[in-house]
A and B are shown apart, each in its own frame.
Chain A
Amino acid sequence: MHISPVLWQFLVKWLHASALFPSEASTIAPYTDALYFFLLLITLIGVVLVGALVFGFSIRYRAARNPVATQVEGSTLLEATWTIIPLALFLVTFVWGALLYFRIYTPPTNSMNIYIVGKQWMWKAEHPGGQHEINALHVPIGRPVQLTMISQDVFHSFSIPDFRVKREVIPGRYSTVWFEATDAGTYHIFCTQYCGTAHSAMIGDIVAMSPEDYESWTKQSTSGMSLAQNGERLFASMGCNSCHSGNAAARGPNLAGVYGSKLQLANGSQVLVNDAYLRDAILNPSQHVTAGYAPIMPTYQGQVSEDGLIDLVEYIKTLDNNYRVQQTLTTSQSDKVAPTTPGMVKP
């Protein structure tokens, strides 16, 4: 038998790349693959069983061999068998799948957070330390990383096949996903939700690095301003600090330490203050009035970009006292130079 050399090279290359399964590069991947192999196994058993029945009966009862059919009504016992056994297998699959789902969508509390903003047609990654990337994401291995993601326009979906994680990136709403990379290397990022013309160009590389490499990358790549510092500047320039000054008599509630707390709202409900709540409260304040305050805050819908909102959220997260707020307040009202971090650009 003669195989064309081109085809042979194709095959060799393909087998070398082990093209039937993606590499297992995160802590989640082995769990997903285990369920996949279980499902492949029951599929195989199912197909072989059905195939054996169909072919077996076709040969045994073909008209040439069995010219007269014997009429049979059915069998309750058999009906019960093929109701209960598939049902049991499907229920096992359900429980297994649910456990995996909760594992993938429940980030560990000690995970580091990176923001992802999706837009037609690129991925922007915003590290809290002020590293900004486009269509690339550098992460350390051996450390859980949580992505807080939002879309600026249409639905996108952030997928890392080698990590077996994926989550929809939704306009106007934060969604999160987490992973812990195990092997250093470069892996694909795909946008898997159709998002318009250049959907298939909305791809990128995720670079998993050893902690040391990651450390040096972080140092080299920082823009000099952390997200919180950007947020602080925005907080002052948009005048947020004039109401949210932290004074007891201020018109807006004190924001120090508010992140992660339970907040009593004017409409009587109680909410947990998280990233999503802060973002909504900035864009749609009339729906999120803290108890004891007048609904006087104007909406910032359309005035601040998703990146800006992330900066503000990061800033509010870091506020544990009002010292900086007071400082920016004085700074913005006077002409004195504020004591800034090195490299900070004055607003």
Chain B
Amino acid sequence: MSGTTSTIVNLPDQRTATMPKRDYLNNEHGLLSWLFTGDHKRIAILYLISITFFFFLGGIFAGLIRLELLTPQPDLVASDTYNKLFSLHGIIMIFLFLVPSVPATLGNFLIPIMIGAKDLAFPKINLLSWYLFMTGGVLTLTALVTGGVDTGWTFTTPLSTHYLNTNVVTAATGIFIAGFASIFTGLNFIVTIHRMRAPGMTWFRMPLFVWANYAASILMVLGTPVLAISLVLVALERTLGLGVFDPTKGGDPLLFQHLFWFYSHPAVYIMILPGMGVISEVISTFSRKRIFGYTAVAFSSVAIALFGFFVWEHHMFIMGVSNYSALVFSLLTMLVAVPSAIKIFNWAFTLQKGSITFETPMLYAFAFIGLFTIGGMTGVFLGALGMDIHLTETYFIVAHFHYVMVGGMLMAFLGGIHFWWPKMFGRMYPESLSKLSAVTSFIGFNLTFMPQFVLGYLGMPRRYHAYPPEFQVLNVLSTAGATVLGVGFLLPVLYLGWSLKYGAIAGNNPWQATGLEWQIQSPPLTENFTEIPIVTQDAYDYEWLANKTEHEVTTVG
């Protein structure tokens, strides 16, 4: 890092800089002050700690799965254990990490500040949602330690209702309860964004991060209840023999899949949309430029949310659904791919004529763009009816959704955590180590999941404990990649922890970014703003920021 041209990092003089005397972290002390807090920022931190725990728990399962698949023979664990490993990996990663990841941590922390509010609309409901999430998490852990669950994360009937002796009801109850955490968070965001914007903060002056979370919130509120219903039906069928899904009682086993995917397809947009919001903020900041086609990016989030509700049957093309309904759902699937393409190109053109620097969040954003492009395009493979027949239920689909969920969402999450870390804790992370970890994750990720596309086309089915020996080379590559990826994910925990105490003091606006969150102290005060800001500028208005900075210097000087 030499000179002022290769970096925009603008830190206060470290010899004289001090952390603020009062902020949301040291305003109150003691565990109870955290457990009973109504502060959206503290709740965000509670969420951050909890989901990090669940992420590494799910990651350990992933590691064991890859270790088992190193050899074709089922030699590391028993088949039932293997089935539990991938089920818990899926359940934990999706319901306890990906769904809450960006909204409940970064969204919770930033949305009120970004729109100039002192908190979310319902602070107590916000806290309640964390308790519900933890209850769901604890129940899932209970299911785990009392023998596990081996339904897969999809809870497919009649396997889950009649043929398994594991803790299906406990795990389903856990997810049911965690679902309400998600509904409450979504509801809170929607009301806050509608009702609590600062004077002058019109809809089209909001940062795109807020738009993306708004779209995801709509999905959470409308979609999650359907998941809740289908899980309740599974539990009732399992305990009371209800018969909604049981063909021998006149039920329809496919109905479960319709209900499940009616939530779980929009759920992938719940997971990815907030990540896209992060990318918009990061790209703009590090190219010092307004997002190209702001309205197109904003509306593409809404379009994804709308179309996302009408594509669920593409998970069921081979399941004997009517050929003509398959046509409709395939067409809609093609349409939902368009807004994602629009976003990608708008981000790319934001770089044009910018003044680009390559700090860690930007590297994660680049990784996101590359990996999400591959993830999105391979989704088109699966949306094409005839192609889906060969590819579905194989490792191709595993690779596809990991490209979107890990390559896309997790990279966006890590980018966002690095980007707002100085705001959240007032200290910088170590730059070169974090760049190293970003590059390591990118390489490890591709090495892990690229071979899986090939495996999928060769026909290797997903959720296989043992596989024919000719698939071994590609599996060895994938496992090797997973090791690298693991290192890439472990590093940030270590150096971010270190930085809490030893990181350079960041000051208010280390990135010289335009968002309202960067105009207040880091870490912020409990009430965010000493006076409610009056917004006169658009989002990403770097000229306004330059004027403001000049003005501040003259008044202080």
Complex CA gap A54/B345 in Å reads 10
Q: Does A249 contact B (CB under 8 A)?
A: no
Which residues of chain A come closer than 8 Å to B323, judged between CB atoms?
101-102, 105
Query: A74 touching B295 by the CB < 8 A rule?
Result: yes
Complex CA gap A159/B290 in Å reads 50
Query: Chain B interface: which of A110-118, A124-132, A186-194, A217-225?
Result: A186-194
Q: Which residue of B lies closest to A68 (CB)?
A: B355
Q: Does A1 contact B (CB under 8 A)?
A: no
**Other-chain residue from B253, B254, B458, B467 in contact with A21 (beta carbon distance below 8 A):** B458
19 sampled A-B residue pairs with Cβ under 8 A? A19-B470, A47-B370, A50-B348, A50-B373, A53-B345, A62-B357, A63-B355, A82-B341, A86-B338, A94-B384, A97-B384, A101-B389, A105-B323, A157-B318, A159-B394, A162-B459, A188-B468, A190-B464, A196-B83
Query: A101 touching B356 by the CB < 8 A rule?
Result: no
Which residues of chain A come closer than 8 Å to B369, judged between CB atoms?
50, 54
B residues contacting the other copy or chain, number (CB 8 A): 97
Per-residue CB proximity of B323-349 to A under 8 Å, as 1/0? 100110011001101100110111011
Query: B390 touching A93 by the CB < 8 A rule?
Result: no
Tell me the residues in window 67-106 of chain A with beta carbons closer than 8 Å to chain B beta carbons. 67-75, 78-79, 82-83, 86-87, 90-91, 93-94, 96-105
Per-residue CB proximity of B288-326 to A under 8 Å, as 1/0? 111011111000000000000000000001111001001
Query: A32 touching B394 by the CB < 8 A rule?
Result: no
Query: A192 touching B357 by the CB < 8 A rule?
Result: no
Distance (Å) between the CB of A87 and the closest chain B CB? Answer: 5
Tell me the residues in window 1-47 of chain A with beta carbons closer than 8 Å to chain B beta carbons. 10-11, 13-14, 17, 19-22, 31-32, 35-36, 39, 42-43, 46-47
Which residues of chain B come closer than 8 Å to A153, judged between CB atoms?
158, 162-163
Most buried by A among B83, B150, B351, B378: B351
Query: B338 touching A83 by the CB < 8 A rule?
Result: yes
Q: Does A171 contact B (CB under 8 A)?
A: yes
Query: A161 touching B459 by the CB < 8 A rule?
Result: yes
Which residues of chain B come closer than 8 Å to A91, judged between CB atoms?
334
Complex CA gap A32/B386 in Å reads 7
Query: A46 touching B373 by the CB < 8 A rule?
Result: yes
Q: Does B487 contact A (CB under 8 A)?
A: no
Q: Which residue of B lies closest to A13 (CB)?
A: B473
Most buried by B among A63, A120, A172: A63
Q: Which residue of B lies closest to A15 (CB)?
A: B473
**Other-chain residue from B370, B378, B466 in contact with A200 (beta carbon distance below 8 A):** B466
**Other-chain residue from A13, A64, A175 in contact with B320 (beta carbon distance below 8 A):** A175
Query: B377 touching A43 by the CB < 8 A rule?
Result: yes
Q: Which residue of A lies closest to B466 (CB)?
A: A200
Q: Does B547 contact A (CB under 8 A)?
A: no
Query: B247 touching A192 by the CB < 8 A rule?
Result: no
Complex CA gap A47/B467 in Å reads 31
Which residues of chain A come closer than 8 Å to B80, judged between CB atoms?
197
What band does the interface of chain A fall in when counting residues whose beta carbon is under 8 Å from B?
35 or more
Which residues of chain A come closer than 8 Å to B158, judged between CB atoms?
153-155, 171
Count CB-based A-B contacts (< 8 Å).
305
Q: Which residue of B lies closest to A106 (CB)?
A: B323
Which residues of chain B come closer than 8 Å to A161, judged between CB atoms?
390, 394, 458-459
Query: A97 touching B385 by the CB < 8 A rule?
Result: yes
Per-residue CB proximity of A164-193 to B under 8 Å, as 1/0? 111110111101000000000000101111
Q: Does B352 contact A (CB under 8 A)?
A: yes
Complex CA gap A96/B388 in Å reads 12
Per-residue CB proximity of B225-266 to A under 8 Å, as 1/0? 000000000000000000000011010011000000000000
Which residues of chain A come closer than 8 Å to B59, judged between CB atoms?
none
Complex CA gap A191/B342 in Å reads 38
Q: Do A47 and B392 form a contact, CB below 8 Å, given A61-B287, A86-B338?
A: no
Partner-A contacts on B (CB < 8 A): 3, 5-8, 74, 79-80, 83, 150, 152, 154, 156, 158-159, 162-164, 247-248, 250, 253-254, 287-290, 292-296, 317-320, 323, 326-327, 330-331, 334-335, 337-338, 341-342, 344-346, 348-349, 351-358, 366, 369-370, 373-374, 377-378, 380-381, 383-390, 392-394, 454, 457-459, 461-468, 470, 473-474, 542-543
**Other-chain residue from B253, B378, B383, B457 in contact with A43 (beta carbon distance below 8 A):** B378
Which residues of chain A come closer than 8 Å to B389, judged between CB atoms?
32, 100-101, 104-105, 164-167
Distance (Å) between the CB of A27 and the closest chain B CB? Answer: 14
Tell me the residues in window 192-215 of chain A with beta carbons closer than 8 Å to chain B beta carbons. 192-201, 203
Query: B351 touching A191 by the CB < 8 A rule?
Result: no
Complex CA gap A178/B307 in Å reads 33
Query: A53 touching B317 by the CB < 8 A rule?
Result: no
Q: Does A66 contact B (CB under 8 A)?
A: yes
Tell me the residues in window 285-342 of chain A with beta carbons closer than 8 Å to chain B beta carbons. 301-302
Complex CA gap A172/B255 in Å reads 13
Most buried by A among B331, B337, B341, B383: B341
Query: B289 touching A72 by the CB < 8 A rule?
Result: yes
Distance (Å) between the CB of B284 and the closest chain A CB? Answer: 10
**Other-chain residue from A53, A71, A73, A79 in contact with B351 (beta carbon distance below 8 A):** A53
Complex CA gap A103/B392 in Å reads 17
Query: A191 touching B459 by the CB < 8 A rule?
Result: no
Which residues of chain B come closer than 8 Å to A165, judged between CB atoms?
389-390
Which 6 A/B pairs are nearest by Cβ-Cβ distance?
A: A100-B386, A161-B459, A172-B247, A97-B384, A101-B385, A74-B293
Which residues of chain B come closer than 8 Å to A196, judged between CB atoms?
83, 150, 159, 163-164
Distance (Å) between the CB of A63 and the closest chain B CB? Answer: 5
Complex CA gap A72/B522 in Å reads 30
Which residues of chain A come closer than 8 Å to B348, judged between CB atoms?
50, 53-54, 57
Query: B163 touching A74 by the CB < 8 A rule?
Result: no
Query: B254 touching A46 by the CB < 8 A rule?
Result: no
Query: B342 touching A82 by the CB < 8 A rule?
Result: yes
User: Given A53-B351, A61-B353, A101-B330, 7 other A-B contacts at CB below 8 A?
Assistant: A43-B378, A74-B295, A94-B334, A98-B330, A101-B385, A164-B389, A198-B79
Complex CA gap A195/B156 in Å reads 9
Q: Does A58 contact B (CB under 8 A)?
A: yes
Q: Do A72 and B290 form a contact, CB below 8 Å, given A47-B377, A82-B342, A104-B386?
A: yes
**Other-chain residue from A22, A171, A188, A200 in contact with B79 (beta carbon distance below 8 A):** A200
Which residues of chain B come closer than 8 Å to A94, judged between CB atoms?
330-331, 334, 383-385
Distance (Å) between the CB of A179 and the closest chain B CB? Answer: 11
Query: B355 touching A100 by the CB < 8 A rule?
Result: no
Query: B253 touching A69 by the CB < 8 A rule?
Result: no
Which residues of chain B come closer than 8 Å to A63, judged between CB atoms?
5-8, 288, 355-357
Complex CA gap A159/B355 in Å reads 52
**Other-chain residue from A35, A47, A69, A70 in contact with B374 (beta carbon distance below 8 A):** A47
Query: B381 touching A86 by the CB < 8 A rule?
Result: no
Per-residue CB proximity of A224-264 to B under 8 Å, as 1/0? 00000000000000000000000000000000000000000
Distance (Å) between the CB of B66 and the closest chain A CB? Answer: 16
**Other-chain residue from B159, B162, B331, B370 in contact with A194 (beta carbon distance below 8 A):** B159
Distance (Å) between the CB of B300 and the closest chain A CB? Answer: 9
Query: A66 touching B334 by the CB < 8 A rule?
Result: no
**Other-chain residue from B83, B344, B390 in contact with A199 (beta carbon distance below 8 A):** B83
Which residues of chain A come closer than 8 Å to B327, judged between CB atoms?
98
Which residues of chain A come closer than 8 Å to B248, judged between CB atoms?
172, 301-302
Query: A195 touching B159 by the CB < 8 A rule?
Result: yes
Q: Which residue of A lies closest to B248 (CB)?
A: A301
Complex CA gap A50/B372 in Å reads 11
